[in-house]
A and B are shown apart, each in its own frame.
Chain A
Amino acid sequence: MNTDSTDLDRLHAAVRREKADLEPGREPAPLWVMFLFMIIAIVAGGQLGPMTGGWSFSVSNPFSLARHGDPRPGGGAGAGATDPFQTAMKKGSSGYAVCGGCHQGSGTGIPGQYPPLAGSEWVNGGTERLIRVVQHGLVGQVTVAGQNYNFPGGMQPFGAAMSAGDLANVLTYIRNTWGNEGTMITKEMVEKVRKDESARAKQWTQAELESFASANVPGEIPAGPGATVAAEAAPAK
């Protein structure tokens, strides 16, 4: 019937207007494309080369075979291979921002109010005393570099709010800046003092700390002035 056939026409219209499937042409690839692909292949080969670590299952450092060594800081052998003294100095310099409010960025303090750190015998002297001051704070009359200071309330304790590592870094920083030179203070040293003084809740006074004035916390000094440990051998290239 007529109506049926138009309906069928409509139903199959989409199929009927389709174009035929065609066989692909035979156009050859242009020559310049082949040159481009060669360049890509060379770049890709560059990803292999020395980066493969000699196809060994036990080498994970992609620079192990590189002629100029590992370009990453510390030779890529992880944090252990970086100079711990330099790391502590760097971290300490950002941690010092807390101290600089009173002792000033230049470490000079403010005469009559805050004692200086530059050239201070408290900073350059025994590490037992220095760690205790920052850990628990200091109150009352203090004499630094021949000047007397007595700031109301004294210096606040900072130990509770800082990790042993952060504290050690800041102390290493102040002992080696503004012309100061002293041995590194390590995390282990701070931890040892914290253990020795675990019962201490009050700020120290100058008199109480007299016995620690020139005592140093025992412990290995990994790097920097007075290092007790030989520098680690450079990682194998």
Chain B
Amino acid sequence: MQTSPATPDTQADDLRRAAIDKSVKGPVLFLFLNGAFWLMASTILGVLAAVKQFAPDFLGPCSVLQYGRLQPTHVNALVYGWGVQAGLGAMLWIMARRTGQELKSGKSVLMVAAVFWNIALTLGLLGILGGRSTSMEWLEMPTFVWPVMLASFLAFAWPMASMFGRAFRPEGFMVSTWYVLGACFWFPWVFLSANVALHCLPGLGALGAGINAWYVHALILLFFAPVALGASYYFIPKVTGQPIASAQLAKLGFWMLAFLGGWTGMQHYMGGPLPAWMPAVGAASAVLLLIPVGVVGLNHHLTTLGKHSLVATSPTLRFVFFGSLFYPVSGALLALISNFSTGANLQFTQAWYGFQIVAVYGFFSMTLFGAIYYIVPRLSGCEWLSVRLIRNHFWFSVYGIAAIVVTSLVAGVQQGADLNHPEMWDQNFSQLALNLRPYLIARAIAWTLITWSNFWFLVHLMLMVAGLGRRSSAPTLLAHDHEDEALPNAAHA
């Protein structure tokens, strides 16, 4: 398109898109940059927490630096610091672009909301480190933070919903926008329900644990998954220039995820003191979720068929492509830990952590990195500085996350077999923990690789936000297509 002469028509369109980009620049860059900082913190904490598991004396006896405080801080920083913030940034940009609406007013409200989100998060994470954890998974932060975070989120969800409401919505409009719109509504629903139930209703007993497990699953399936899917459905056609293969499959994938996402979770306590039908329904939904997961995977596959060479060239496509590959992987892992046959073994093992990390890092974050590589040059007015840094980010992330997934799953199989083995019932529990040592060492190494990759990502992003990127009209590509050598400005970045 850039090679065709600029007709007044395309020029007007270019200007309109440039104006939209400009209108969301502040909040989006703020969210991305803060998200990248928290991601850095989370990965460092991930290394420390993994080391603490096989070398408990590491870092000395200070109570702040024990596994029980480092691990929840690591996960919460990843989920709320990086995940939700980066997700909101990408959602806002995609929604504005897809609806063709500028962010008209209330930009300062968004900045204030983003600042309050970060303040609440900082206090919450310090609360965990200071020993005030609520000990509820993914909700460890002290109870005073959640109303602030909810209000901040709603401040972002409102303009997105109203953009959607004002937009002209032709057929085929839904695919990425509906995922983003869904995430705007589902996060407040899931977050509010879980917090009110767990913090405000007395005497829940065992059901509280079930609600907590539901929250973790629902947040992954109804926030992280739709945001990442919205991004991949937007960027894959955008970069390849190939339309999404099937509107029918896209619709099916969306509605089945929307319907099933909220039904799963309680199977985490299968065989536990919950009414038996609750885990059974959760297990059935978790297995059924393989269908929407497979539908999306198939659709992406049909869309990118024959365009795989672009994966080598475009940083955006490369990250989005690999993030999308991890969607079926996380779906399969969810089905494995959730059904009654393999779940009885994998329940309460390292595989559960593996699932969380593959969903939040492997699938969601990798896709979001791709989105950031696409969005930021449009907002900051300069191009990514270094191909080497991007490549570095990609490969260390891919190797790190793959190592975490594989070791967590294998460790989970072994740990579950140990725990369930009839001859192990009177063994020392610490012996079972010692059996996991090699996997935990591998996990620490994997987080170190990811930390390394994210350090350079953070530096790169900071330079871009500061406007110190490359002054050029050519995109930063990882490699040049052979056919495109003559056209360095190839349109896939």
Give residues in A with beta carbon < 8 Å to B. Answer: 9-30, 33, 36-37, 40-41, 43-45, 47-48, 51-62, 64, 73, 76, 90-91, 94
B339 contacts A by Cβ under 8 Å: yes
Question: Are A15 and B290 in contact, CB atoms less than 8 angstroms apart?
Answer: no
A48–B6 alpha-carbon span in the complex (Å): 60
Contact of B272 among A29, A52, A60, A73 (CB under 8 A): A60
Question: Are B302 and A52 in contact, CB atoms less than 8 angstroms apart?
Answer: no
B410 contacts A by Cβ under 8 Å: no
Q: Which residues of A contact B243 (CB under 8 A)?
A: 22-25
Binary CB contact string for chain B from 232 to 253 against chain A (1 if under 8 A, 0 otherwise): 0000011101111111111010
9 closest Cβ contacts across the A-B interface?
A53-B276, A13-B473, A44-B287, A47-B283, A24-B247, A24-B244, A17-B2, A52-B277, A22-B243
Question: Are A52 and B281 in contact, CB atoms less than 8 angstroms apart?
Answer: yes
Q: Which residues of B contact A90 (CB under 8 A)?
A: 426
Q: Which residues of B contact A26 (CB under 8 A)?
A: 246-248
B18 contacts A by Cβ under 8 Å: yes
A selection of 20 A-B contacts at a CB cut-off of 8 Å is A12-B14, A12-B15, A12-B18, A14-B377, A14-B493, A15-B378, A16-B2, A18-B238, A19-B491, A24-B175, A24-B245, A25-B244, A27-B249, A29-B246, A29-B249, A40-B288, A45-B284, A52-B280, A60-B275, A61-B271
Q: Which residues of A contact B267 (CB under 8 A)?
A: 47
Contact of B473 among A9, A29, A53, A73 (CB under 8 A): A9
Given contacts A10-B473, A14-B475, A47-B280, contact A22 B237 (CB under 8 A): yes
Contact of B245 among A16, A27, A33, A64 (CB under 8 A): A27
Question: Are A15 and B21 in contact, CB atoms less than 8 angstroms apart?
Answer: yes
Contact of A24 among B15, B246, B283, B294 (CB under 8 A): B246
Q: Which residues of A contact B493 (CB under 8 A)?
A: 14, 17
A35–B475 alpha-carbon span in the complex (Å): 44
A28–B383 alpha-carbon span in the complex (Å): 39
A169–B427 alpha-carbon span in the complex (Å): 16
A82–B295 alpha-carbon span in the complex (Å): 47
Binary CB contact string for chain B from 76 to 109 against chain A (1 if under 8 A, 0 otherwise): 0000000000000000000000100000000000
Q: Which residue of A lies closest to B423 (CB)?
A: A90
Question: Are A17 and B1 in contact, CB atoms less than 8 angstroms apart?
Answer: yes
Question: Are A62 and B246 in contact, CB atoms less than 8 angstroms apart?
Answer: no
A52 to chain B, nearest CB (A): 4
Q: Which residues of A contact B170 (CB under 8 A)?
A: 23
Q: Which residues of B contact A11 (CB under 8 A)?
A: 18, 381
B37 to chain A, nearest CB (A): 25
B298 contacts A by Cβ under 8 Å: yes
B17 contacts A by Cβ under 8 Å: yes
Q: Which residue of B lies closest to A49 (CB)?
A: B280
Q: Which residues of A contact B291 (CB under 8 A)?
A: 37, 40-41
A28-B248, A47-B280, A47-B284 known; 6 new pairs, CB 8 Å cut-off, are: A17-B1, A18-B17, A51-B283, A56-B276, A56-B277, A62-B280
Q: Which residues of B contact A18 (CB under 8 A)?
A: 1, 17, 238, 491
Q: Which residues of A contact B492 (CB under 8 A)?
A: 19
Q: Which residue of A lies closest to B426 (CB)?
A: A94
Give residues in B with beta carbon < 8 Å to A. Answer: 1-2, 6, 14-15, 17-18, 21, 98, 170-172, 175, 237-239, 241-250, 252, 267, 270-277, 279-281, 283-288, 290-291, 294-295, 298, 302, 339-340, 377-378, 381, 383, 422, 426, 471-475, 489, 491-493
Q: Which residues of B contact A45 (CB under 8 A)?
A: 284
Q: Which residues of A contact B2 (CB under 8 A)?
A: 13, 16-17
Q: Which residue of A lies closest to B381 (CB)?
A: A11
Q: Which residues of B contact A24 (CB under 8 A)?
A: 172, 175, 237, 243-247, 250
Given contacts A27-B245, A28-B248, contact A17 B426 (CB under 8 A): no
A80–B21 alpha-carbon span in the complex (Å): 67
Question: Are B280 and A27 in contact, CB atoms less than 8 angstroms apart?
Answer: no
Contact of A16 among B14, B246, B290 (CB under 8 A): B14
Q: Which of B2, B471, B474 has the most CB of A within 10 A?
A: B2
Question: Are A21 and B238 in contact, CB atoms less than 8 angstroms apart?
Answer: yes
A21–B422 alpha-carbon span in the complex (Å): 59
Contact of B1 among A9, A20, A36, A62 (CB under 8 A): A20
Q: Which residue of A lies closest to B176 (CB)?
A: A21
A171–B489 alpha-carbon span in the complex (Å): 84
Contact of B472 among A10, A15, A28, A53 (CB under 8 A): A10
Q: Which residues of A contact B249 (CB under 8 A)?
A: 27, 29
A43–B283 alpha-carbon span in the complex (Å): 10
Q: Which of A27, A30, A47 has the most CB of B within 10 A?
A: A47
Question: Are A27 and B21 in contact, CB atoms less than 8 angstroms apart?
Answer: no
Q: Which residue of B lies closest to A76 (CB)?
A: B271
Q: Which residues of A contact B238 (CB under 8 A)?
A: 18-19, 21
Contact of A28 among B246, B273, B340 (CB under 8 A): B246
Contact of B294 among A23, A33, A60 (CB under 8 A): A33
Q: Which residues of A contact B381 (CB under 8 A)?
A: 11
Q: Which residues of B contact A91 (CB under 8 A)?
A: 426
B248 to chain A, nearest CB (A): 6
A191–B114 alpha-carbon span in the complex (Å): 63
Question: Are B378 and A29 in contact, CB atoms less than 8 angstroms apart?
Answer: no
Question: Are B378 and A41 in contact, CB atoms less than 8 angstroms apart?
Answer: no
Q: Which residues of A contact B18 (CB under 8 A)?
A: 11-12, 15
Question: Are B246 and A27 in contact, CB atoms less than 8 angstroms apart?
Answer: yes
A14–B249 alpha-carbon span in the complex (Å): 31
A11 to chain B, nearest CB (A): 5
A214 to chain B, nearest CB (A): 33
Q: Which residues of B contact A10 (CB under 8 A)?
A: 471-473
Q: Which residue of A lies closest to B279 (CB)?
A: A62
A61–B270 alpha-carbon span in the complex (Å): 9
A121–B287 alpha-carbon span in the complex (Å): 61
Q: Which residue of A lies closest to B270 (CB)?
A: A62
A144–B354 alpha-carbon span in the complex (Å): 59
Q: Which residues of A contact B15 (CB under 8 A)?
A: 12
